[in-house]
Amino acid sequence: MSVLIFLDQADGHIKKSAFEAACYGAAIAKQTGTIAEAIVLGSINDDLAAIGQYGITKVHTVKNDALNHVDAQVFTKIIADAATATGATVIIFSNNFNGKAIAPRLSVRLKAGLVSGAVALPDTSNGFIVKKNVFSGKAFANVAINTAIKIISLNPNSFSVVTTIGTAEVAAFAANVDAAKVTVTNTNKVVGEVPLSEAEIVISGGRGLKGPENWSLVTDLAKLLGAATACSRPVADIGWRPHHEHVGQTGLAIAPNLYFAIGISGAIQHLAGVNRSKTIVVINKDPEAPFFKAADYGIVGDAFEVMPKIIEAVKKMKGLI
């Protein structure tokens, strides 16, 4: 009996969401009186023994350049073998792009019930019940997993990373690495930008900004705060901003600590992607804009007048002027 956590990596570094998954898995291990182990696939440049800080006893590694691209079929087999070898009864993923590709396959392979999009620790007082997001953040479902092995994928930014003192044992896991049936011919990553799904602060603009030429009101503030940028759907549809910035019901769903919305009305389909943010700030000139109902802080005013002053104030706060 143990908890096994899949640590997702990109470019040789463990992702922030994977540390959340590690802490979450370690907390479940503690709750159920067992240990937490982790598995990392591909070539890693990080010090893996340091993962012990997140409550992980042992890290299983499969160093193989072929695993630097995630192939769900290949990864599923290796993780299933590792789960069997370690006797894992709970397996944790981050509910990010890779988690969504692998966890469902693993669920079938191990005949293990999956709850995707978990937002809290399971309730193990009577069965095994996991709280997850449903209706695009508008509600939660408490889902019982009724199989012997349980798989949970944790929503990013819903469990805090807490570190202690500890060192993990690092051991190579002897895995059969199959040839991938999917060939990756090209990858195109936006370099130097904070990925939207992992960002703690997101500055977002809507049609109220009138045109792409005014986007410095969004990007200047984002740069100052180390934030990612996002936009409403019409903004991406008209081509003012790239598609990957579109958040909402049909775009990306995010849950940053701060979501700062400028000139966005707050239509229900937009809110579906951002309503899990911890703090929401709305700048809109219309006091009736529905977004104010979902906001924590707001200014009823013209973004073109208000935003430059906000940017100045942040610079002052940061001691830049």
Partner 1 sequence: MKILVCISKTPDTTAKIAFADNNTKFAADGVQWIINPYDEWYALVRAIELKEADAATVIHLVTVGLADCDPIIRKALALGGDEAIRINADSHDSYYIASQIANVAKEGNYELVFTGKETIDYNGSSIGGMVAELLDLPYVSLATKFTLTGTSAEIIREIEGGEETDTVQLSVVVSCQKGMAEQRIPNMKGIMGARSKPLKVVEPSAVDAFTAIASFDLPPAKAGVKLVSPDNPEELVRLLHEEAKVI
Ligand X SMILES: Cc1cc2nc3c(=O)[nH]c(=O)nc-3n(C[C@H](O)[C@H](O)[C@H](O)COP(=O)(O)OP(=O)(O)OC[C@H]3O[C@@H](n4cnc5c(N)ncnc54)[C@H](O)[C@@H]3O)c2cc1C
Report the site for partner 1 in 203-262 (rule: CB under 8 A).
225, 243-244, 246, 249-251, 257-258
Given 149, 289, 294, 310, the residue binding ligand X (CB under 6 A): 289
Cα–Cα distance for residue pair 13/102, rounded to 1 Å: 19
Q: Which of 66, 101, 121, 161 lies at the binding interface for partner 1 (CB under 8 A)?
A: 101
Paired tokens of 165 = 């003192």
By CB under 6 A, residue 234 contacts ligand X: yes
Angstrom distances, CA of residue 173 to CA of 2, 12, 79, 126: 16, 18, 10, 35
Distance CA 102, CA 115 (A): 13
Determine if 89 is a binding residue for partner 1 (CB under 8 A).
Answer: no
Whose structure tokens read 């463990």? 14
Instruction: List the one residue from 53, 197, 229, 284 that touches ligand X (CB under 6 A).
Output: 284
What is the rounded distance in angstroms from the CA atom of residue 283 to the CA atom of residue 289?
10
Residue 237: φ, ψ to 5°: -65, -40
User: Binding to ligand X by residue 254, rule CB under 6 A?
Assistant: no
Element (H, E) at 270: helix 268-274
Q: Which of 227, 235, 280, 310 binds ligand X (CB under 6 A)?
A: 235
Cα→Cα distances 149→114, 115, 141, Å = 9, 12, 20
Q: Partners of 113 in the beta sheet?
A: 150
Residue 115 or 289 having the CB closest to ligand X: 289
Residue 196 contacts ligand X per CB under 6 A: no
Q: Please state the closest distance from residue 198 (CB atom) to ligand X, in A.
A: 19
Check binding of 304 to ligand X (CB under 6 A).
yes
In whole angstroms, the minimum distance from the beta carbon of 207 to ligand X comes to 3
Residue 206 in contact with ligand X, rule: CB under 6 A: yes
132 to 161, contacts with partner 1 by CB under 8 A?
132-147
Beta strands in 219-274 (DSSP E): 228-231, 258-262
303 binds ligand X (CB under 6 A): yes
Residues that bind ligand X in the complex, under the rule CB under 6 A: 206-208, 232-235, 248-251, 263-265, 267, 269-270, 273, 283-286, 289, 302-304
